[in-house]
Amino acid sequence: MWMRNSANEAKRMWLETGRHTGTLKTIVMDSKADDYALFREFRRQRKMTLITTCRRKTDNHSPERARMFQIMGTKTHKQYYKERSTTVEPMQGLLKDIFDLTRCWMHGNKNNRWLFAAMGIAVQIAQLNAYRNNQSTWNIKSAVLGVP
């Protein structure tokens, strides 16, 4: 499903996290999810803390938003956000590296999605083989491309 922007992803996340109430405590999203209403509702209804980085040039004058920024600015929450860069969508970055892609557009022609799915499966198979052989699951380019 293609979503126009991250604000839509945040709304989608709201729907997807309902079944995880009580098990998840923290959710990390990109910088466009710094909406106070969303932050407040995750805390109130789901008992989850939405962590993001706050965009520059936003209205930080309301006391509620200032408190949200203070919560997101704690050392622990900053560490969670930092870890996000290595844990969110690692497959796409690996695909770009292995297949020497400079740009990776997932929307557009639906047939392209099948190509990316096939590429992803090839990468996952190579990662599984590397894992079973106690090798790096990131150094698999030759195995994916079938070259020695």
Give the tens place of pLDDT for each residue, 26-81.
888 876 677 788 888 889 999 999 888 777 666 667 888 888 888 888 999 888 88
Q: Are 52 and 31 in contact (CB under 8 A)?
A: yes
Q: Does 1 map to a domain?
A: no
Domain final residue, candidates 87, 110, 126: 87
49/94 same-domain check: no
Q: How many CB atoms lie within 10 A of CB 30?
A: 15
106-144 pLDDT tens trace: 555 665 667 777 888 888 888 888 889 988 877 888 888
* 3-class DSSP string for 114-142: HHHHHHHHHHHHHHHHHHHCCCCCCCCHH
pLDDT at 57: 66
Residue 79 lies in a domain: yes
Higher-pLDDT residue of 19 and 68 is: 68
Range of the domain at 34: 6-87
pLDDT at 1: 34
Pair (13, 83) in one structural domain: yes
Same-domain pairing of 67 and 100: no
Q: Pick 136 or 103 by higher pLDDT.
A: 136
H/E segment holding residue 27 = strand 26-28
> Is pLDDT at 100 greater than 60 in this prediction?
yes
User: Is 48 in the same domain as 121?
Assistant: no
List phi, psi (to 5°) of 50. Answer: -85, 120
Q: Are residues 74 and 42 in the same domain?
A: yes
Question: Which has the closest alpha carbon to 34: 51, 17, 13?
Answer: 51
User: What's residue 75's pLDDT?
Assistant: 92
Select the more confidently predicted residue: 90 or 53. 53
Same domain, 81 and 97: no
- Assess if residue 77 is contained within a domain: yes
Q: How far is CA 44 from CA 39, 48, 50, in A?
A: 9, 8, 11
Q: Determine if the pTM surpasses 0.75.
A: no
Q: What is the pLDDT of residue 145?
A: 84
CA dihedral 21, 24, 28, 33 (to 10 degrees): 10
